[in-house]
Amino acid sequence: MPTRTRRKNLQKRRKRRLFAAIASEILSGEMAERKPEQDELENMRNEEERQRTHQQWAIAVQKSAAAFNRKTKILAQRQQLLISLRQNLKQFDDKKIVGITQQTSA
């Protein structure tokens, strides 16, 4: 590995470690100053956000399922229509063949 790349990677690693150390000091200082009421308030907010997110997810799943059901219903209808058209076409061809054979035999 070239020296310049190694030096840059080392510099990035030092920077990440420094920021991690600073962040942990800040976090530990905040945690020491926090009161149980603040923890409870944050927990309540997190729970409300989780419930709101879950409701949005449930609504999105219902919409997605409804759209999927509509598409499958339309697909089934189209397939049924194709089957009936093929049967009608086959019956028409059979009648046409029968008509031709009757005309040639007469």
Mean pLDDT of 48-73: 97
Assess if residue 20 is contained within a domain: yes
Amino acid at 93: D
Assess if residue 29 is contained within a domain: yes
Rounded to a whole number of angstroms, the distance between the first and last alpha carbons of the chain is 95
Residue 99 pLDDT = 66
Assess if residue 16 is contained within a domain: yes
Look at residues 83, 84, 81 and name the one whose alpha carbon lies nearest to residue 73: 81
CA distance 75 to 85: 15
> Which residue range is the domain that position 29 belongs to?
1-33
Instruction: Kindly report the pTM of this predicted structure.
Output: 0.48
Assess if residue 6 is contained within a domain: yes
In this structure, the chain runs to a length of 106
pLDDT at 106 over 60: no
